[in-house]
Structure 1
Amino acid sequence: MTAKVYFTRGITPENVVRLYRMLGVELPGKVAVKVHSGEQGNQNYLTPEFWKPMVDEVHGTIVECNTAYGDAAGGVRDHTEAHWKLMEEHGWTEHFDVDIMDAEGPDVVWPIAGGLQLKENHVGRHILDYDSMLVLAHFKGHPMGGYGGALKQLSIGCASRAGKALIHSAGVTDDRFACWEKHSSKSAFPEAMADAAMTVHEHFTGRIAYVNVMKNLSVDCDCCVVAEDPCMADIGILASTDPVAIDQACMDLVMGSEDPGVGHFLERVVSRNGIHTIAAAAQLGYGTRDYELVEC
């Protein structure tokens, strides 16, 4: 089947809400709103002020999980106390209810039948407190995944520290200090991300929606303390109920761009085999790469 992806070139908080409404969905109950809150020192993440009208629209709670990397990478979000302090410094707690989903254990462990790399996914236990999810992704590059969008938010974004280690090692270890060089092929990490993303999407089947904002298009992620400045002009906002289709549409917009920085951006994506994450997710069957782009 073909998925619908709504698209506008005007990047404003109001247009985020407008595109979400075009999906015609109403997220029930208590809504988890997954964002990237931005690492300490990062200049490219999308601010609470930008997302506020959308979060208010669904009366949502901002959710995040602790990271697997720590002081060696310069980040502070690998343990709850420092992560919470940074959420305060970045203004998230001023505007919203905030939940670090793996602040306390044990993790939720979801089995993965037929996974390409993983047999299970470990997610923050508080995810079970929510009836539905809104995934607000800042689409940009990523040092390991090539790019970050909806699928990354579902996978690494919702995984606990142990879950992140499992994804990065393609199922070899849940030790966050030993996971970084454990996978042996360029396909293993993208496939592990696709596996993990599937569990979250399927948990909220029929109760999940996605918005990708193509702004501040750096080759680096919002998890980078020292991130490269954007190399391309902003492109727009996309919304869909299909995480595969929305990420594919974003990649197609990048590849169709005549921006002088597109080559640099795509070099990051291709060198990390990033598009394979989209292909693997489509292979697993919880989304499609075939979509209709509805510009509005």
Structure 2
Amino acid sequence: MEKAKVYFADFRATLTENLQQKLTRLLKTAGMGTIDFDKKFTAIKIHFGEPGNLAYLRPNWAKTVADFVRERGGKPFLTDCNTLYVGGRKNALDHLDSAYLNGFSPFTTGCHVIIADGLKGTDEAYVPVEGGEYVKEAKIGQAIMDADVFISLTHFKGHESSGFGGCLKNIGMGCGSRAGKMEQHNAGKPQVDPSPCVGCGMCTRICAHDAITITDKKAHIDHDKCVGCGRCIGVCPTDAIGCGYDESNIVLNRKIAEYTKAVVDGRPCFHISLVIDVSPNCDCHAENDVPIVPNVGMFASFDPIALDQACVDAVNAAPVNPDSLLRDAHERHHIDDAHDHFHAAHPDTNWQSALEHGEKLGLGTREYELIKI
């Protein structure tokens, strides 16, 4: 396969070009303007940040991308799907509150915010995964699949399960509905925690397979009947139903790649990653730590695999920040010169598995040409 082109710009600014203008120049040079945006609904997938986290991308970056689309006649909207875990983004109302709290609103970004899988995370499209080994039909937020054009805008960072949170993680896990997220994280079926369960019966009413019963005012799931759709997770008012998070990190990464393929297949796509405030963990955390490396720059490509590989290479080539989790890991494990910052920070992860599987699926190539502007 021919090398993919990945375009790069550092974070240096001048008196005549600020960083938002530099990002616009990067998008133009990388060819994003060749996409036909005219009258096209354009999903811009971004992570709005869990309340309490300060490492997420500033809304100014989202405005730059949205303006780029709108200036070419497109109809952009910022989007994400609800979370599987309990937090500030588990339903559309809380999710919108969190997005607004962190600065994402039509007034700051120039476009609307839509939570793609709806009020309770159950508005989903079933999308075939061509060549999928683990997932045959991905559960993707409906609004994302309704879009004509798909753009990913990613905060590149570390991740405690996938090794790093990059383009594939933003798309594959981020675009999954609550049931889709469960399918990626969990090797089995939903489970009931009896302590918060109040026996309200909402889960029994949503289950299409009669797999849930109420006994002694507690829900019980018959896993022989359950198909693992996860809709009960979305409707439970006390968050008593959840998944076991028992999938291996390697399989998790491969499922993320397969979900990514479901999202991007069959329509124009473009991908942007900003390697800035490289926190050791996901923006889903309600806190963030010292960045593990200094800020690197902005990357853009039509190829999501090459984009993630280029960002990984750039981070691994960067020096370790003092007083960071990564420096602590180096000292704890007596590492003098680790070439893999992500594995050093989270030794139980295997980030290569996502890129290897994505390449196998035809998502792109790890071979790239880095073009600096």
Q: TM-score if structure 1 supplies the norm length?
A: 0.91
Secondary structure of the corresponding residue to residue 63 of structure 1 = strand
Amino acid in structure 1 at the alignment position of 2:252: F
Q: Kindly, what percent of the aligned residue pairs are identical?
A: 32
Structure 1 residues 57 and 113: alpha-carbon distance in aligned structure 2, compared to 1, 3 A threshold = closer
Q: 2:21 aligns with which of 14, 26, 33?
A: 14
Counterpart CA distance in 2 for 1:18 and 1:87 is 27
Superposed displacement of residue 285, structure 1:
1.3
Would you say 1:82 and 2:109 are equivalent positions?
Answer: no
Secondary structure of the corresponding residue to residue 187 of structure 1 = helix
Counterpart CA distance in 1 for 2:123 and 2:77 is 21
Q: 2:243 aligns with which of 179, 199, 207?
A: 179
Structure 2 partner of 1:277 = 354
More moved, 193-202 vs 258-267? 258-267
Secondary structure of the corresponding residue to residue 211 of structure 1 = strand
Q: 1:146 aligns with which of 160, 163, 174?
A: 163
Superposed displacement of residue 99, structure 1:
0.6
Would you say 1:199 and 2:206 are equivalent positions?
Answer: no
Off by >3 Å, runs of 4+ in structure 1: 170-178, 258-265
Counterpart CA distance in 2 for 1:112 and 1:130 is 18
Superposed displacement of residue 174, structure 1:
4.2
Tell whether the 8 Å contact from 1:186 to 1:272 is kept in structure 2 after alignment. Answer: yes
Counterpart CA distance in 2 for 1:170 and 1:42 is 29
Would you say 1:240 and 2:301 are equivalent positions?
Answer: yes
Superposed displacement of residue 258, structure 1:
3.2
Superposed displacement of residue 202, structure 1:
0.8
Tell whether the 8 Å contact from 1:118 to 1:195 is kept in structure 2 after alignment. Answer: yes
Superposed displacement of residue 255, structure 1:
1.9
Structure 2 partner of 1:97 = 112
Q: 2:310 aligns with which of 249, 262, 268?
A: 249
Superposed displacement of residue 91, structure 1:
2.0
Specify the structure having the higher radius of gyration (Cα): 2
CA RMSD of aligned residues (A): 1.9
Tell whether the 8 Å contact from 1:16 to 1:211 is kept in structure 2 after alignment. Answer: no
Superposed displacement of residue 114, structure 1:
2.5
Tell whether the 8 Å contact from 1:118 to 1:171 is kept in structure 2 after alignment. Answer: no
Counterpart CA distance in 2 for 1:174 and 1:273 is 27
Counterpart CA distance in 1 for 2:272 and 2:347 is 23
> What whole-Å deviation, never above 9, does each CA across 1:32-87 have from its counterpart, x for those lacking one?
111111111001001112331221111221111111111xxxx2101111111112
Structure 1 residues 131 and 170: alpha-carbon distance in aligned structure 2, compared to 1, 3 A threshold = farther
Superposed displacement of residue 171, structure 1:
7.4
Q: 1:53 aligns with which of 64, 68, 74?
A: 64
Q: TM-score if structure 2 supplies the norm length?
A: 0.73
Structure 2 partner of 1:123 = 140
Structure 1 residues 119 and 255: alpha-carbon distance in aligned structure 2, compared to 1, 3 A threshold = same
5+ residue gaps in structure 1?
none
Structure 1 residues 56 and 219: alpha-carbon distance in aligned structure 2, compared to 1, 3 A threshold = same
Superposed displacement of residue 143, structure 1:
1.9
More moved, 149-158 vs 123-132? 123-132
Amino acid in structure 2 at the alignment position of 1:67: T
Structure 1 residues 253 and 202: alpha-carbon distance in aligned structure 2, compared to 1, 3 A threshold = same
5+ residue gaps in structure 2?
13-18, 71-75, 190-227, 234-240, 330-340
Counterpart CA distance in 2 for 1:190 and 1:113 is 17
Tell whether the 8 Å contact from 1:109 to 1:120 is kept in structure 2 after alignment. Answer: yes
Amino acid in structure 2 at the alignment position of 1:272: T
Structure 2 partner of 1:23 = 30
Amino acid in structure 2 at the alignment position of 1:145: S
Structure 2 partner of 1:34 = 45
Structure 1 residues 243 and 195: alpha-carbon distance in aligned structure 2, compared to 1, 3 A threshold = same
Structure 1 residues 257 and 65: alpha-carbon distance in aligned structure 2, compared to 1, 3 A threshold = same
Structure 1 residues 108 and 179: alpha-carbon distance in aligned structure 2, compared to 1, 3 A threshold = same
> What whole-Å deviation, never above 9, does each CA across 1:247-294 have from its counterpart, x for those lacking one?
000111122223356665422355311221111111111100010001
How many residues were matched structurally? Answer: 289
Structure 1 residues 219 and 281: alpha-carbon distance in aligned structure 2, compared to 1, 3 A threshold = same
Structure 2 partner of 1:66 = 82
